[in-house]
Structure 1
Amino acid sequence: MPKNSIKILFLSTLISGVLISLCANSWMGAWMGLEINLLSFIPLLSSNLNMFSTEASLKYFLVQAIASSTLLFLILLKINMYEMFSFTKLSPWNNFIMIPLLMKVACAPFHWWLPSVVEGISWINCFFILSIQKIAPLMLISYLLTNNYFIQFMIISSSLIGAMGGLNQTSIRKILSFSSINHVGWMLTTMILGPNYWWMYLTIYSMNIISIISMVMSTNSSFIPQTFNSLNNKKIIKFVLFTSILSLGGLPPFLGFFPKWITIQLMIQNLMILTSMILIMSSLLTLYYYLRIIYSTLTITNSEIIWFTSNSNKLDNPKLMMISIIILSLGVLICTLIMFMY
């Protein structure tokens, strides 16, 4: 009971830190919300059951502390150099102040800490780092972001590094971390195109991450070879897991294709042809190693043992799996109907 109450306390302060950053009307208030969020998340990362969690929490704390201190330094420097603390869309200060925020969301080339941190933590904390911890920094970045060469370089580097980094990985955690780096490039692109598109992208991305992590937690798998034969007696879990992975990669007609479809259409309308080509090619790279994993799991290494087939219909949580299948498979149709209704 004490451990559960402590987790509830830190979780509530973590959410309150995110809300403080979202609702702040000054940059000092937004910085304080980021610090409350950070100091609440560090105790949730460390665990006595996992010997790598302490190392991962220390790495995460050092990186986030460096980013937060740099952000505070730049904010105070801006206040001292100008009488009125305000941001204009053409000011070069925006690029400087975005650098620590981009480090917080693991945007390339500031991505180096994310795979090593994600590798040593639990699946629940992995979900927090890949989704909830990105909300406040991305909101602050959206206040500053304009379409310039610096942002275009960040978008292209994130998409390419996130796509190529997962090619030779066998750890599911590292594959999800490099996929997150790739998706950060797409989110920055949606911020250029409109103020609300990145919320849609982050929401659908979080739904895919929830589905993947829930399926992996139910099978207690951490590496790709563990899914080869361990899921033969749980075919529905294997189906939902690989459907979620394909949706995360943006393969039609799954739900993850919808935000990429909208983003590509808006980029073509705004004549961002080169950036759209690079993002599409990076998505093809991610789909390549997703399909390579799925092909080897479903065909080459797939084998069945007769005395395991009787347990094939026993599901851990059938309602959750059916909801995941319906949302991920029919999500593009539902979202398209909603879009045409408006």
Structure 2
Amino acid sequence: MFLNSTKLILSNTMMIGVIMTICSNNWFSMWMGLEISLLSFIPMMQTNKILSSESMIKYFIIQSVASTLMLLSTIIMLIGVSMMNEMMLTISMLIKIGSAPFHNWVIFIIETMNYYEMWIMLTIIKMPPLTILFNNNHSNLMIPIVLGMIISSVSCLNQTSLKKTIGFSSIYNISLMLLTINKFNIMIVFMLIYAFMLGLLLSIINKMMIGFINQMILNEKTMFLKMNLWINMLSMGGFPPLMGFFNKLMILQTMINLNQIVVATIVVLTSMLVMLFYMRLTFTLMFTTSTTTKWMFNMKLSYFNLTMNFILFPSLIFLTSMN
């Protein structure tokens, strides 16, 4: 992606809105920060695709409805005439982050986006609503969490688009983050590792110009590049030697410490389905041989991806054992 001056300014104003929401101590300032980040991110979604404008309008409508619902719940909270304000605020934040059962808008608009804006929407934009959910810690999120894990893991099995696959994977990871909503430090570590893994995966897919599974079969890439993409997909699925497994390990350890064995069992079973569709992608890629290479790939980026996937997880385990 060519980062021009307009997108640079929009990125700065978007980060101002994100930081404003995270650092605010009242609901109206948080609402203002959400609106600033929303109005800054919408122009960044514009691409050369035909349905880009439609996706922008859909995103604006969904986020506006959620912001209006948050503002209404805040007003009710200040007046003090109803106890439904916490539920309304929780629903509005679940709509903003695209958690189940309000996840369909993510799949609708993600297909027309560039990978840079897609990474922003799946990571940075979701931090302010998660912060608001942490502040509104009286809400019970077990039903949307279980729905998110089951729906996203099952719905992705019949997908052929890589963007929709990553979208469902993001919905699944949001459900895992909501499990640790009361432990903000664990949730932040989870988000940072997930954002790093997703950035590595999207950078390789963008370089390879792959959008669907059948494009992996009919490709002429080198085996080293295929191995690189394979390792990153296994890391996203949570394969044990890689750093993606550290996120699943944190969630399972937290659930076991809280004596939530049923939820930990659901996490393990749905993680197997997530691993299944990532393994389907990787085997489709690795079981095809390439004959020629039409262009060169950035080898420094490839070595960096492989090194970070193999080295970061043992480093995190070592640092955890030191405490």
Normalising by the residue count of structure 1, what TM-score does the alignment of the two structures yield? 0.90
1:196 counterpart (185, 192, 201): 185
- SS of 1:186's partner is helix
- SS of 1:254's partner is coil
Distance, in Å, in 2 between the alignment partners of 1:315 and 1:27 is: 51
Match of 1:185 in 2: 175
Distance, in Å, in 2 between the alignment partners of 1:74 and 1:140 is: 13
Give the residue type in structure 2 aligned to 1:290.
Y
Contact 2:55 2:109 in 1 (8 A): yes
Contact 1:18 1:34 in 2 (8 A): yes
- SS of 2:180's partner is helix
Does 2:280 align with 1:292? yes
1:109 counterpart (91, 94, 101): 101
Does 2:156 align with 1:166? yes
Contact 1:42 1:57 in 2 (8 A): yes
Contact 1:211 1:241 in 2 (8 A): no
Deviation (angstroms), 1:155? 0.9
Report the number of matched residues. 320
Deviation (angstroms), 1:315? 4.4
Match of 1:156 in 2: 146
Contact 1:248 1:256 in 2 (8 A): yes
Q: Where in structure 1 are there 5+ consecutive unaligned residues?
A: 83-90
Map 1:208-219 to 2 at 5 A: 208-219=197-208
Distance, in Å, in 2 between the alignment partners of 1:39 and 1:121 is: 16
Deviations along 1:114-163, one digit per CA (max 9) or x if unpaired, are 011101111111111111111111111111134x6x41111100111110
- SS of 1:145's partner is coil
Deviation (angstroms), 1:304? 3.0
Match of 1:88 in 2: none
Moved segments of 4+, more than 3 Å: none
Contact 2:180 2:187 in 1 (8 A): yes
Distance, in Å, in 2 between the alignment partners of 1:161 and 1:249 is: 16
Contact 1:155 1:186 in 2 (8 A): yes
Once the two structures are overlaid, the 10-residue window that deviates more, 120-129 or 109-118, is: 120-129
Match of 1:36 in 2: 36
2:221 counterpart (213, 233, 245): 233
Q: Where in structure 2 are there 5+ consecutive unaligned residues?
A: none
Deviation (angstroms), 1:92? 6.0
Q: How big is the alpha-carbon RMSD for the aligned residues of Structure 1 and Structure 2? A: 1.7
Deviations along 1:238-258, one digit per CA (max 9) or x if unpaired, are 222221111111110110100
Deviations along 1:166-202, one digit per CA (max 9) or x if unpaired, are 110010000000001111110011224x221000101
Distance, in Å, in 1 between the alignment partners of 2:101 and 2:221 is: 42
Distance, in Å, in 1 between the alignment partners of 2:106 and 2:184 is: 26
Does 2:52 align with 1:53? yes
Contact 2:227 2:286 in 1 (8 A): no
Distance, in Å, in 2 between the alignment partners of 1:108 and 1:165 is: 12
Contact 1:258 1:332 in 2 (8 A): yes
1:96 counterpart (84, 88, 93): 88
**% identity of equivalent residues:** 28
Deviation (angstroms), 1:51? 1.3
Deviation (angstroms), 1:287? 0.6
Give the residue type in structure 2 aligned to 1:126.
M
Contact 1:234 1:315 in 2 (8 A): no
- SS of 1:196's partner is helix
Distance, in Å, in 1 between the alignment partners of 2:118 and 2:15 is: 16
Normalising by the residue count of structure 2, what TM-score does the alignment of the two structures yield? 0.95
